[in-house]
Amino acid sequence: MNLLRLISWPYVRKHVLRTVLTTAGIVLGVAVFVGMHTANQSVLFAFNSTVDRIAGKTELQVSAGETGFDEAVLETVQGAATVRVAVPVIEAVVDSQREGQGNLLVLGTDMTGDRSLRDYDLEDADEAIIDDPLVFLAQADSIMLTKAFADRNGLSVNSVMTLGTALGPRAFTVRGIMKSKGLASAFGGNLAIMDIYAAQRMFGRGRTFDRIDLATRPGVTIEEAGAELRTLLGPGFQVDVPAGRGQQFQAMTASYGIMVSISSLFALFIGMFIIYNAFAIAVTQRRSEIGILRALGATGSQVRRLFLLESAATGLVGSLGGLALGLLMARGIAASIGTIMQDVYGVAQRADEIATSPALLGLALAVGVGTSVVAALIPAGQAARVDPVQALQKGRYQVLSAGENRARLMAAAALGIVSVLCVAVPTSRPVFYAGYLLAIVVALLLGPILALVLSRAIRPLLKWLRPVEGALAADSLIQAPRRTSASVAALMLSLALVTAFAGMARASYNSILDWVNGTLNPDLFVSPSQDVVTRTLRFPAAMGDELAALPGIERVQRVRNARILFRGTPVMIVATDIASLAETAPREPVEGHPTEMYRLTAAGQGLMISDNLARLAGLHAGDAIEIPAPAGIISLPIAGIIVDYSDQQGSIIMDQAVYQRYWRDDTVNVFRIYLRDDATADAVSRSILSTYAGERQVFVLTNGELRDYILRVTDQWFGLTSIQIAVAVFVAILGIVNTLTVSITDRRRELGVLKAVGGLRGQIRRTIWLEAISIGTLGLVLGFALGALNLYYILQIIERDIAGMRLDYVFPFGTALALVPVILIAAFVAALWPAESAVRGSLVEALEYE
Amino acid sequence: MNDAVGSSPVGPACRRVPIALGSSPVGGRTVRRPRLLAGALLGLTLGSPALAAAQDARQIVQEVQKRGDVRSQRYEGLLQVFNARGTVSDKRWMLERLGSYGASRVVLRFTQPAEVRGVALLVVNHPDRASDQWMWTPSIERDRRIALQDRSQRFFGTDFSFEDLEERDVQQFDYVLQGEEAVDGESCWRIQSVPTRTKSSQYTRSIVWVRKSTYTFARIDNYIGDQVVRRLTYGDMADVQGIWTARRLEMTDLRSGSRTRLTLDRLQYNVPMTADDFTLQALRRQ
Residue B2 belongs to some domain of the structure: no
Contacts of A476 (CB under 8 A, 6+ apart): A743, A747, A767, A771
What pLDDT shows up at residue A750? 73
For residue A641, what are the β-bridge partners?
Answer: A591, A609
CA–CA distance, A459 with A471 (Å, rounded to integer): 6
Same-domain pairing of A279 and A221: no
Answer whether A357 touches B (CB < 8 Å): no
Phi-psi region of A161 (alpha: psi -120 to 50; beta: other; left: phi over 0): beta
Q: Indicate if the alpha-carbon torsion angle A135, B118, B153, A213 is positive or negative.
A: negative
Residue B154 belongs to some domain of the structure: yes
What pLDDT shows up at residue B53? 34
Same-domain pairing of A197 and A343: no
| Eight-state DSSP code of residue B48 | S
Same-domain pairing of A491 and A370: no
Residues of B in contact with A133 (CB under 8 A): 156-157
Chains A–B, number of C-beta pairs less than 8 Å apart? 74
Contacts made by residues A420-423, CB under 8 angstroms, sequence distance 24+:
A423/A796
Answer whether B108 touches A (CB < 8 Å): no
Residue A421 belongs to some domain of the structure: no
What pLDDT shows up at residue B47? 31
In terms of DSSP bridges, do strands A607-610 and A632-642 run parallel, antiparallel, or are they unpaired?
parallel
Short-list A147, A146, A141, A188, CA closest to A161: A141
Chain B, residues 59-88, CB within 8 A of chain A, namely 81, 83, 87
C-beta atoms surrounding A698 within 10 Å: 21
Q: CA distances (Å), A433 to each of A329, A415, A427, A430, A790, in order?
A: 28, 14, 11, 5, 12
Check A85 against B149: CB less than 8 A apart: yes
Please state the φ and ψ torsions of residue B205, each to the nearest 5 degrees.
-165, 170
Residues of B in contact with A75 (CB under 8 A): 145, 147
Residue B1 belongs to some domain of the structure: no
Helix axes A761-797, A481-519, angle to 10 degrees: 40
Is residue B36 classed as helix, strand or coil in its secondary structure?
A: helix
CA–CA distance, A259 with A506 (Å, rounded to integer): 16
Mutate one of A118, A137, A141, A175 to test the B interface: name it (highest B CB count within 10 A): A137
* Largest distance between two CA atoms of chain B: 55
What pLDDT shows up at residue B12? 25
What pLDDT shows up at residue A4? 66
Q: CA distances (Å), A16 to each of A8, A12, A22, A738, in order?
A: 12, 6, 10, 12
> Which range of residues forms the domain containing residue A325?
1-53+244-398
Residues of A in contact with B150 (CB under 8 A): 84-85, 113, 116
> Which range of residues forms the domain containing residue B180?
13-285
More confident residue, A304 or A531: A304
Q: Is the separation of the CB atoms in A38 and A355 below 8 Å?
A: yes
Q: What is the ipTM of this complex?
A: 0.71
Last residue of a domain, one of A213, A241, A269: A241
Residue A437 belongs to some domain of the structure: no
What pLDDT shows up at residue A245? 66
CA–CA distance, A620 with A639 (Å, rounded to integer): 9
CA–CA distance, A613 with B85 (Å, rounded to integer): 62
Q: Which residue of A has its CA nearest to B132?
A: A75
Per DSSP, helices labelled H in A392-541 are 402-424, 429-465, 467-479, 481-519
End-to-end alpha carbon distance in chain A = 25
What pLDDT shows up at residue A470? 85
Contacts of A314 (CB under 8 A, 6+ apart): A19, A22, A23, A26, A275, A372
Per DSSP, helices labelled H in B29-165 are 36-40, 57-67
In terms of DSSP bridges, do strands A607-610 and B105-112 run parallel, antiparallel, or are they unpaired?
unpaired
Per DSSP, helices labelled H in A185-242 are 196-202, 222-233
For the ranges A54-63, A217-226, A810-819, B204-213, the lowest mean pLDDT is seen at A54-63
**Where does residue B161 rank: exposed (0-12), middle (13-18), buried (19+ CB within 10 A)?**
buried
Same-domain pairing of A465 and A335: no
What pLDDT shows up at residue A128? 37
Check A131 against B157: CB less than 8 A apart: yes
Q: Point out the residue among B81, B110, B140 whose CB comes nearest to the CB of A140.
A: B140
Q: How far is B87 from chain A (nearest CA, A)?
A: 8
Residue A419 belongs to some domain of the structure: no
Same-domain pairing of A32 and A107: no
Summarised one tens digit per residue, pLDDT across range A98-107 is 776 677 888 8
CA–CA distance, A44 with A40 (Å, rounded to integer): 6
Answer whether A124 touches B (CB < 8 Å): no
* Whether the model pTM is above 0.90: no
Q: CA distances (Å), A790 to each of A36, A81, A508, A777, in order?
A: 21, 57, 16, 19
Residue A6 pLDDT > 60, yes or no? yes
Residues of B in contact with A84 (CB under 8 A): 149-150
Residue B172 belongs to some domain of the structure: yes
Q: Is the separation of the CB atoms in A823 and A732 below 8 Å?
A: yes
CA–CA distance, B53 with B61 (Å, rounded to integer): 14
Same-domain pairing of A384 and A452: no
C-beta atoms surrounding A677 within 10 Å: 6
Check B150 against A138: CB less than 8 A apart: no
Contacts of A294 (CB under 8 A, 6+ apart): A300, A303, A386, A387, A388, A391
Answer whether B149 touches A (CB < 8 Å): yes
Check A140 against B139: CB less than 8 A apart: yes
What pLDDT shows up at residue B209? 96
Is residue A87 classed as helix, strand or coil in its secondary structure?
A: strand
Per DSSP, helices labelled H in A697-812 are 703-746, 748-756, 761-797
CA–CA distance, A637 with A581 (Å, rounded to integer): 19
Helix axes A300-345, A287-295, angle to 10 degrees: 140
CA–CA distance, A377 with A651 (Å, rounded to integer): 50
Residue B67 belongs to some domain of the structure: yes
CA–CA distance, A499 with A818 (Å, rounded to integer): 11
Residue B5 belongs to some domain of the structure: no
> Measured at the alpha carbon of residue B247, what is the angle toward residues B46 and B85, in degrees to the nearest 5?
135
For residue A177, what are the β-bridge partners?
Answer: A145
Last residue of a domain, one of A177, A207, A241: A241
Domain total of chain B: 1
CA–CA distance, A475 with A484 (Å, rounded to integer): 11
Residues of A in contact with B142 (CB under 8 A): 197, 201
Residue B195 belongs to some domain of the structure: yes
Q: Which amino acid is at A89?
A: V
A391 CA to centre of own chain = 49
Tell me the three-class secondary structure of A559-600, residue by residue.
EEEEEEEECCEEEEEEEECHHHHHHHCCCCCCEECCCHHHHH
Check A133 against B137: CB less than 8 A apart: no
Residue A793 belongs to some domain of the structure: yes
Check A116 against B157: CB less than 8 A apart: no
Q: Which amino acid is at A311?
A: S
In terms of DSSP bridges, do strands A651-655 and A211-216 run parallel, antiparallel, or are they unpaired?
unpaired
Q: How far is B136 from chain A (nearest CA, A)?
A: 9
Q: How far is A75 from chain B (nearest CA, A)?
A: 8
| Eight-state DSSP code of residue A529 | S
Q: Point out the residue among B89, B116, B147 whose CB comes nearest to the CB of A138.
A: B116
Q: How far is B269 from chain A (nearest CA, A)?
A: 28
Same-domain pairing of A166 and A183: yes
Q: Which CATH number is B33's domain given? A: 2.50.20.10
C-beta atoms surrounding A273 within 10 Å: 28
Mutate one of A197, A202, A209, A220 to test the B interface: name it (highest B CB count within 10 A): A197
Residue A358 belongs to some domain of the structure: yes
The confidence band for A26, taking pLDDT boundaries of 50, 70 and 90, is confident
Summarised one tens digit per residue, pLDDT across range A727-783 is 777 777 777 777 667 666 666 667 777 777 777 888 888 888 888 888 889 889 999
Short-list B284, B283, B2, CA closest to B124: B2
Phi-psi region of A700 (alpha: psi -120 to 50; beta: other; left: phi over 0): beta
Residues of A in contact with B89 (CB under 8 A): 127-128, 132
What pLDDT shows up at residue B38? 34
Is residue A466 classed as helix, strand or coil in its secondary structure?
A: coil
CA–CA distance, B265 with A96 (Å, rounded to integer): 46
Q: Point out the residue among A78, A132, A141 whose CB comes nearest to the CB of B149.
A: A78
CA–CA distance, A421 with B275 (Å, rounded to integer): 82
Answer whether B146 touches A (CB < 8 Å): yes
Last residue of a domain, one of A219, A241, A263: A241
Same-domain pairing of A148 and A232: yes
Q: Point out the residue among A115, A135, A137 whose CB comes nearest to the CB of B153.
A: A115
Mutate one of A83, A134, A194 to test the B interface: name it (highest B CB count within 10 A): A134
Residue B264 belongs to some domain of the structure: yes
Summarised one tens digit per residue, pLDDT across range A561-585 is 888 888 888 889 999 999 999 999 8
Q: Point out the residue among A86, A133, A195 whose CB comes nearest to the CB of B157.
A: A133
| Eight-state DSSP code of residue A217 | P
CA–CA distance, A527 with A537 (Å, rounded to integer): 9
C-beta atoms surrounding B283 within 10 Å: 18
Same-domain pairing of A236 and A250: no
Residue A109 pLDDT > 70, yes or no? yes
Check B140 against A201: CB less than 8 A apart: yes
For the ranges A610-619, A837-846, B166-175, B255-264, the lowest mean pLDDT is seen at A837-846
Mutate one of B90, B137, B149 to test the A interface: name it (highest A CB count within 10 A): B149
C-beta atoms surrounding A735 within 10 Å: 32
CA–CA distance, B3 with A383 (Å, rounded to integer): 92
Answer whether B116 touches A (CB < 8 Å): yes
Answer whether A394 touches B (CB < 8 Å): no
Check B115 against A137: CB less than 8 A apart: no
Same-domain pairing of A689 and A542: yes
Radius of gyration of chain B (CA): 17
Same-domain pairing of A638 and A548: yes
Q: Is the separation of the CB atoms in A803 and A648 below 8 Å?
A: yes
Q: Is the separation of the CB atoms in A554 and A675 below 8 Å?
A: yes
Summarised one tens digit per residue, pLDDT across range A639-652 is 999 988 887 788 99
Bond prior to A522 in cis (omega within 30° of 0): no
Q: Is the separation of the CB atoms in A746 and A480 below 8 Å?
A: yes
Answer whether B145 touches A (CB < 8 Å): yes
CA–CA distance, A787 with A660 (Å, rounded to integer): 49
Same-domain pairing of A337 and A349: yes
The beta strand positions in B20-139, using DSSP E, are 46-47, 72-82, 88-98, 105-112, 120-124, 132-137
Domain total of chain A: 4
Check B144 against A197: CB less than 8 A apart: yes
Q: Which amino acid is at A360?
A: L
Ranges of residues in chain B with a pLDDT under 50 are 1-54
Q: Point out the residue among B115, B119, B150 whose CB comes nearest to the CB of A116.
A: B150
> If you average pLDDT over residues A183-212, what whole number do you get?
83
